[in-house]
């Protein structure tokens, strides 16, 4: 089981071992007997449902894959996004050699994504996809399970919250791996660390996502002084690719758990479809993907989406609005989108094969040099609007065309 799981992290582990050397340091002091705030009901920050079925959550290895690929996949029926959350894999928890405290670290590839948020993060968010940051150990003895006291947990939570604010992220994902607890004189996992950490982070980020990759020492340390991790986080999912296992996180319901996990480049489509069937039949709310490549894998992903959503997945390789016309459910090119529609005259029924929905469109991207005539009624009848370039908001057209388009002509 561990061998199956470790495939995911092979590339990152090699990078971490190359970049960092271990230094001997004085052990951290013993955990003081501090009291946590009482366990309180926390409103789950659920991702808005735009499709019927489980959320698609995808980890992307940004060391060698472009996270923007997450936004290229839509569902053929309705044009909704296959993936609802993209997780940047991964930031690290380093040990500050001077203070012995946890320190958030980004390698050059993660740094590139974060520093260029307008290129990598904001376009996904504009499509309704949440973008979060995964955080895990880095072979230096520090991790989410051995923060020495409440003050240390608060300090590290502040670093995480600052990163979310600075880079416009939607939340933090915790992953308890590769910490090598005990090296550099560091402490072993303790009962309070993870609970302290998620409690502090929830106070700092009341409206952001906090998720847990169910693995490592933290998975067996989910309660302390009457406070549960499940009361502070939003989602948790199975960490063993190619398997079905329900995370045991008290406080989370089925709609916030993902028992199925696949590695897109290692799990067979037959197994992936079987896991999708179990997820759907048992009414769980998340299906976890890992290792989305830069190449087109719509056929593989269709084996899953046909089970979960009763439609195949489509890949848009050329960029929206460059090889065909893309209509969007919301203004400013946000929300669900059609697939690229080529030149032609289309009735409503014909448009529906591209993911179009009647009286639904609010904005459109149009390839350069093309003209789109939109009609309020079927068969190119009724009020019409002629556009020869992208238009971000149909309410500004005269007359208002928002949620009124039924048929189109593209020339």
pTM: 0.75
DSSP run (H or E) holding 119: helix 117-120
Same domain, 240 and 127: yes
Residue 190 φ/ψ region, left for φ over 0, alpha for ψ in the -120 to 50 degree band, beta for the rest = beta
Place of tokens 């904005």: 363
Same domain, 234 and 302: yes
**pLDDT at residue 314 tops 90:** no
Q: Which of 177, 203, 298, 320 is catalytic?
A: 177
Range of the domain at 305: 8-17+44-315
- Of 280, 315, 350, which closes a domain? 315
Same domain, 279 and 140: yes
* Among the listed residues 333, 406, 411, the one whose alpha carbon sits nearest the alpha carbon of residue 375: 406
Residue 397 in any domain: the answer is yes
Q: What is the CATH number of the domain that holds 349?
A: 2.60.20.10
Q: What are 22's two structure tokens?
A: 């271990």
Distance from C-alpha of 54 to C-alpha of 283, rounded to nearest angstrom: 8
Distance from C-alpha of 188 to C-alpha of 218, rounded to nearest angstrom: 12
Task: Read off the pLDDT of residues 105-128 as tens digits, 9 standing for 90 and up.
Answer: 999 999 999 999 999 999 899 888
Residue 320 in any domain: the answer is no
Task: Read off the pLDDT of residues 28-55 as tens digits, 9 standing for 90 and up.
Answer: 223 333 334 444 444 456 665 567 899 9
Question: What's the Cα-to-Cα distance from 69 to each of 27, 64, 335, 391, rounded to whole Å?
Answer: 43, 12, 16, 24
Residue 28 in any domain: the answer is no
- Tally of domains in the chain: 2
Question: What's the Cα-to-Cα distance from 74 to each of 53, 84, 119, 355, 380, rounded to whole Å?
Answer: 14, 11, 20, 9, 27
Residue 30 in any domain: the answer is no
**pLDDT at residue 147 tops 90:** yes
103 is catalytic: no
Same domain, 161 and 303: yes
**pLDDT at residue 83 tops 80:** yes
CA dihedral 330, 336, 337, 339 (to 10 degrees): -170
What 8-state DSSP symbol labels residue 93? E
């Amino acid at each position: 089981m561990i061998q199956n799981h470790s495939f995911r992290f092979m590339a990152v582990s090699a990078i971490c071992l190359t970049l960092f050397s271990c230094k001997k340091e004085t052990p951290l002091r013993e955990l003081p007997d501090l009291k946590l705030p009482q366990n309180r009901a926390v409103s789950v920050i659920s991702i808005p449902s735009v499709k019927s079925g489980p959320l698609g959550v995808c980890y992307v290895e940004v060391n060698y894959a472009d996270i923007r690929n997450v936004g290229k996949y839509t569902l053929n029926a309705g044009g909704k996004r296959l993936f609802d959350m993209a997780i940047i894999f991964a930031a690290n928890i380093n040990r500050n050699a001077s203070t012995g405290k946890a320190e958030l670290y980004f390698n050059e590839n993660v740094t590139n994504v974060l520093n260029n948020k307008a290129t990598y993060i904001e376009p996904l968010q504009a499509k309704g996809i949440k973008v979060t940051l995964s955080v895990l150990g880095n072979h230096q003895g520090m991790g989410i399970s051995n923060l020495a006291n409440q003050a240390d947990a608060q300090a590290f939570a502040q670093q995480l919250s600052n990163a979310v604010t600075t880079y416009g992220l939607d939340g933090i994902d915790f992953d308890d791996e590769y910490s090598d607890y005990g090296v550099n004189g560091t402490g072993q996992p303790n009962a309070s660390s993870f609970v302290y950490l998620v409690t502090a982070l929830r106070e700092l980020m009341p409206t952001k996502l906090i998720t847990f990759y169910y693995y490592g020492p933290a998975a067996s340390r989910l309660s302390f002084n009457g406070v549960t991790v499940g009361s502070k986080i939003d989602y948790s999912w199975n960490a063993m690719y190619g398997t079905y296992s329900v995370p045991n996180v008290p406080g989370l319901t089925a709609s916030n758990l993902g028992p199925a996990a696949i590695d897109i480049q290692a799990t067979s489509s037959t197994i992936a479809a079987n896991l999708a069937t179990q997820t759907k039949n048992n009414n769980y709310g998340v299906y976890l993907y890992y290792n989305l490549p830069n190449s087109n894998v719509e056929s593989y992903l269709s084996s899953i989406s046909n089970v979960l959503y009763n439609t195949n997945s489509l890949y848009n390789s050329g960029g929206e609005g460059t090889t065909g016309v893309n209509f969007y459910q919301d203004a400013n090119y946000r929300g669900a989108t059609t697939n690229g529609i080529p030149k032609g005259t289309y009735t409503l029924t014909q448009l529906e094969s591209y993911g179009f929905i009647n009286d639904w469109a609010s904005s459109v991207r149009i390839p350069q040099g093309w003209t789109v005539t939109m009609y309020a009624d079927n068969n190119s009848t009724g009020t019409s609007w002629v556009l020869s370039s992208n238009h971000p908001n149909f309410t500004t057209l005269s007359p208002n065309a928002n949620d009124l388009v039924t048929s189109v002509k593209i020339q």
